[in-house]
Chains A and B, each alone.
Chain A
Amino acid sequence: MNNRSSSSAKNYFPAPIRTLAVIGLLYLFLGGVKLLESGIKGLGSDFTDALFGNVSNPLVGLFVGSLATVLVQSSSVTTATIVGLVASGVVPVDSAVPMIMGANIGTTVTNTLVSLANLRNREDFKRAFAAATMHDFFNVMTVAVLLPVELLTGVLARTAAGIAGLFAGRSDLGGSFNSPIKSAVGWLATGVRDSIEGLFASTKALGVALVVLGILLILATLTLITKNMRVLVADRIERTMNAALAKSGLTGLAVGLLVTVAVQSSSITTSILIPLVASGVLLVRNAYPITLGANIGTTITALLAALGAGAVDGLTIAIVHTLFNVVGILLIYPWPATRYLPVRLAEALAEVATRHRSLALVYVFGVFVAIPAIGVIVL
């Protein structure tokens, strides 16, 4: 078209520049995790105990994970931060597991919010809301099954520790492992620490500054990585989505996983699906496995963060995140009796929400804000 060039003008950075930028941003992201870890260590145990003591209650951990993810609109930021907390030794792996599960629930808010954009059209909204909330139902169901099991047996944490031990070459939790990434990132964190150390009167103040800097760096770099990757792989995503529209099952899972790993955000993947489902081009049931693939794909960020942190505990919690999502799918998806249960529940909720549209807003606020906030305050 004659105005094609102008409408694409915002993509003014050539692909090689963007690729280099992503590599640089990844390095800064890992540096952010390391800064966070280093800052927390400097806060002192009295301060961190007061701050994170409550998350030893699994329900509080679950709500904190969910609420934090809703606030930053990114489970990748929350899980990377959790990896930093665990790697620093402030939050034990067992306490971090419910937080990771909460992050999984919180991340589904984004596509649910996107689905609300279809409120004006009944049928479109019904399909869109069902597609969005099936993700909510699946993740809540997985937590409902796996959290009690984990609290009783610790099976996810123990399995993850075993796998982390294999990767790290040692089995003692609380230890660390060396990797070229860790060394490179450590150099950055030490450099930043040394250069701002003189500005602060106490170790605690320096620790707070490093924590804030680390979180800001994680947030900013992940946002920019996602933005750049989305532009870099947009054509590949389109090709794959086009090919996957009429497919279901494992193909959808693989597509969801690939796209999410590429853009480092399950919210992007699941939000892309909403207009496709709303318009009727993609069936809710065909979007379902893509969403599940996105659940697994999003765990790559925590794994990357763990490589930068270089602590066995950090790697363990990152692997817990992956295991939780893989096991969740294995528990629900292969079995005909349970496979489409989240979809059916979501469709039933969408049916009700279509008749009483204000209920959709109540649902979003209640599930993603009110319940976790009340939970954190009361518990």
Chain B
Amino acid sequence: MVFSFFRSGDKAMDEVEDRIHQMLIDGRNVYDTAMEAVFGGGKSKKAKAAVKGADNEINVAQRDVRRALLVHASVAPATDVAEVLSYMSVIKDVERIGDYSKNLYDLARYGVNFETADDRDELAKYRDLVGQLISDAAATFQTRDTQGAEALVAKAGGFLDDYDSHVKAAYRSDGSPDVAVARALYYRFLKRITAHVMNFLTALALPLDQLDYYDEPNLDS
């Protein structure tokens, strides 16, 4: 503790950014565990513990990052102002990836199993798209790739409407309610995860005042 003063190491903000990156990795892990359960794995004590444990770690990390940002702002008030403000905002989006993944796992708890569903391939397509989006966001953040972040936001924005179409289709479906509800919730959760990843990426791609406004025509500017 006190000896950490004498330890040389990364800059304090680098440690914050490493922590945020790790939160994204953990978010991807929770997501994968939840999806395994929804696609045939079903509920299990092991999966439940894994989802709960990882989500809890993300929540702890969120508070740690907030505290670290406040300490940074107190110790070096004139530096990294934009980073402190934007991280304070987008850390919430990273945390939500874990939350919605937990909601996806709850579908398996309710007995949803997409592995044997007729539309399994369509469901799996979006599962893989979102999973890849989280990983790409983590990689983009790690390298501070502004252009990569812009490209990802544009790409992810392209399938936001698809989720709405699927939710509408489930609503209008004549099939059994449990099938329709499962799909409506599934696509709704995927849309929320996608939106939060996009919000997070705006921290890299857009000026501070434009955070979260990925859907307005200012990305190119």
Any chain A CB within 8 A of the CB of B144? yes
Complex: how many Å from CA A238 to CA B69? 9
Count A-B pairs with CB separation below 8 Å: 102
Q: Report if A235-B74 is in contact (Cβ < 8 Å); known contacts: A1-B144, A2-B144, A7-B80.
A: no
Q: Which of A3, A262, A276 contacts B82 (CB 8 A)?
A: A3
Taking a contact as CB atoms closer than 8 A, the residue among A251, A255, A272 that contacts B75 in the complex is A272
Residues in B with CB closer than 8 Å to A243 are 1-2, 4
Q: A1-B204, A7-B81, A8-B79 are in contact. List 20 more A-B contacts (CB 8 A).
A: A1-B80, A1-B82, A1-B83, A1-B203, A2-B205, A233-B5, A234-B76, A235-B11, A237-B75, A238-B71, A238-B72, A239-B4, A240-B2, A240-B4, A245-B71, A251-B2, A254-B2, A258-B5, A262-B5, A281-B70
- In the complex the two chains form, what is the Cα distance from A2 to B148 in whole Å? 12
User: A238 touching B203 by the CB < 8 A rule?
Assistant: no
Chain B nearest Cβ from A282, distance in angstroms = 9
Whether, in the assembled complex, A344 has its beta carbon less than 8 Å from a beta carbon of chain B, the answer is: no
CB distance from A264 to the nearest CB of B (A): 15
Among residues 237 to 288 in chain A, which have CB atoms less than 8 Å away from a CB atom of chain B? 237-245, 247, 251, 254-255, 258-259, 262, 272-276, 279, 281
A272 with B74: in contact, given A1-B82, A255-B2 (CB under 8 Å)?
yes
Q: Does B86 contact A (CB under 8 A)?
A: yes
- Nearest opposing residue in chain A for B79, CB measure: A8
Known contacts A2-B144, A2-B204; is-contact A279 B82 (Cβ 8 Å): no
- CA of A90 to CA of B187 in the docked complex: distance in angstroms? 83
Q: Taking the complex as formed, is B49 at the interface, i.e. its CB lies under 8 A from any CB of chain A?
A: no
B154 lies within 8 A of chain A by Cβ: no
List A contacts of B72 (CB < 8 A). 238
Q: B11: which A residues are within 8 A, CB to CB?
A: 235
Let me know if A236 is at the binding interface, CB within 8 A: yes
CA distance A177 to B75 in the complex (A): 39
**Interface contact A4-B13, CB-CB below 8 Å:** yes
Q: What 7 A-B pairs are tightest by C-beta distance, nearest first?
A: A238-B12, A240-B5, A1-B83, A254-B2, A243-B1, A275-B74, A235-B12
B residues near A241, Cβ cutoff 8 Å: 71, 74-75
Q: Is A338 an interface residue (CB 8 A)?
A: no
- The minimal Cβ–Cβ distance linking A249 to chain B, given in whole angstroms, is 11
Assuming A2-B144, A234-B12, A255-B2, is B67 touching A245 (CB within 8 A)? yes
B73 at the interface (CB under 8 A from A): yes
Query: B9 contacts the other chain (Cβ, under 8 Å)?
Result: yes
Bound: A4/B86 CA distance, A: 11
Q: Judge whether A356 is part of the interface by a CB distance below 8 angstroms.
A: no
Q: Which of B152-205 contact A (CB under 8 A)?
A: 203-205
* A11 interface hit (Cβ, 8 Å): yes
Contacts of A240 in B (CB 8 A): 1-2, 4-5
Give A242 to B203 CA distance when docked, in angstroms: 24
Instruction: Give the interface SS of chain A, mostly helix, strand, loop or mixed.
Output: helix
Nearest opposing residue in chain A for B1, CB measure: A243
Report the interface size class on chain B.
35 or more
Complex partner residue of A275 from B4, B70, B79, B203, CB under 8 angstroms: B70
Scoring B5, B70, B72, B144 by chain A CB atoms within 10 A of each residue's CB, the highest score goes to B5
B9 CB contacts on chain A under 8 angstroms:
235, 239
* Residue A10 at the chain B interface, CB threshold 8 Å: yes
CB of B2 within 8 A of CB of A276, answer no
Q: A250 to chain B: closest CB distance in Å?
A: 9
Q: Give bound CA distance, A279 to B88, whole Å.
A: 14
Q: Which of the listed residues A236, A254, A262 has the most CB atoms from chain B within 10 Å of its own CB?
A: A236
Residues of chain B with a CB closer than 8 A to A262's CB: 5
As a 0/1 sequence over residues 85 to 105 of chain B, the CB contacts with chain A under 8 angstroms (1 = contact) are: 011000000000000000000
With the chains together, A238 CA to B78 CA distance in Å? 14
B73 / chain A contacts, CB cutoff of 8 Å:
275
Q: Does B123 contact A (CB under 8 A)?
A: no
B125 at the interface (CB under 8 A from A): no
Contact: B5 with A251, CB < 8 Å? Answer: no
Whether A11 contacts B79 by the Cβ 8 Å rule is: yes
Would you give the shortest CB distance from A12 to chain B, in whole angstroms?
12
Tell whether B25 is near chain A: CB-to-CB under 8 Å.
Answer: no
Output the residue of A230, A242, A259 with the most chain B CB within 10 A: A242
Given contacts A272-B74, A275-B70, contact A239 B7 (CB under 8 A): yes
What are 11 A-B interface contacts by the 8 Å CB criterion? A3-B83, A233-B5, A234-B76, A236-B6, A236-B7, A244-B2, A251-B1, A262-B5, A272-B75, A275-B70, A276-B71
Residues of A near B71 (CB, < 8 A) are 238, 241-242, 245, 276, 281
Closest to B72 in A: A238
- Assess whether A239 is in contact with B67, with CB atoms less than 8 Å apart: no
Q: Give Cα distance in the complex from A211 to B99, angstroms.
A: 66
B201 to chain A, nearest CB (A): 11
Q: Say if the beta carbon of B139 comes within 8 Å of chain A.
A: no
CA distance A275 to B69 in the complex (A): 12
